[in-house]
Amino acid sequence: MDTLYACCAGLDVHKNTVVVCVRRLDAKGKAHRQVRTFGTMTGQILELADWLADEGVTHVAMESTGVYWKPIWNLLEGQFQILLVNAQHIKQVPGRKTDVKDCEWIAQLLQHGLLRGSYVPPAPQRQLRELTRQRRQLIQTKSSVANRIQKVLEDANIKLGSVASDVLGVSGRDMLRAIVAGQDLPLASTFPVPRTHARP
């Protein structure tokens, strides 16, 4: 089987640990493996990066496990060629021995070019995605809170929605503060209820 990379590494990523296998071919083409375990704190990941560099690793592959791969990717990016691989794809590649660790299997597949990487956007695009996700979550949370407030008011027969178009708007919040303060007709002079036309 063809070998693409003389020295590469496979990472088995977990929440608190990363099991790493460095796979290197000697001059005779024989594979040698080293397996070490690191923590996932920033200093420990930097220690992992230093070890990989000292070993002469050029390419790294790891599974896309939840969100645990992200800090490792961020700290290794720019130092090595990194491949993020779907776990289902790794399982579908035939030939694995049952006693082989995940990191060893990943390293072996990477060395022979049998892995297909997932798309990972550049850092600026990843940051923008995080910001837009956070904004969407905040908007959804605000809407949920507004609906809950409206429900509580309706349960108490307080028709705030009839005089304020936005319960959490400036006028709505002022009236809510007045209600909490115990005013019977909160801010009636400032926010009068619209009157119907008088009969002729």
Contact of 28 with 71, CB cutoff 8 Å: no
Identify the pLDDT of residue 171: 84
**CB-neighbour burial class of residue 54 (10 A; exposed 0-12, middle 13-18, buried 19+):** exposed
**Which of the residues in the chain have pLDDT under 50?**
187-198, 200
Identify the pLDDT of residue 100: 73
Q: Please state the separation of Cα 148 from the chain's center in Å.
A: 28
Q: What is the DSSP letter of 58?
A: -
Distance CA(43)–CA(46), nearest Å, equals 5
**CB-neighbour burial class of residue 55 (10 A; exposed 0-12, middle 13-18, buried 19+):** middle
Distance CA(28)–CA(12), nearest Å, equals 28
pTM summary value: 0.65
User: Two tokens at 108?
Assistant: 């072996």
Report pLDDT digits (tens) over 91-126: 778 777 666 789 999 999 999 999 988 888 888 888
Architecture of domain 7-120: 2-Layer Sandwich (3.30)
Identify the pLDDT of residue 176: 86
> What is 37-102 written as a DSSP string?
EEESSHHHHHHHHHHHHHTT--EEEEE--TTTHHHHHHHHBTTBEEEEE-HHHHHHSS---TTS-H
Q: What is the DSSP letter of 102?
A: H
CB contact burial 107-131 (16+ within 10 A = b; e otherwise)? bbbbbbebbeeeebeeeeeeeeeee
Identify the pLDDT of residue 194: 46
Domain ranges in the chain with CATH number 3.30.420.10:
7-120
Identify the pLDDT of residue 150: 86
Instruction: Name the pairing type of β-strands 7-13 and 81-85.
Output: unpaired
Q: What is the DSSP letter of 6?
A: S
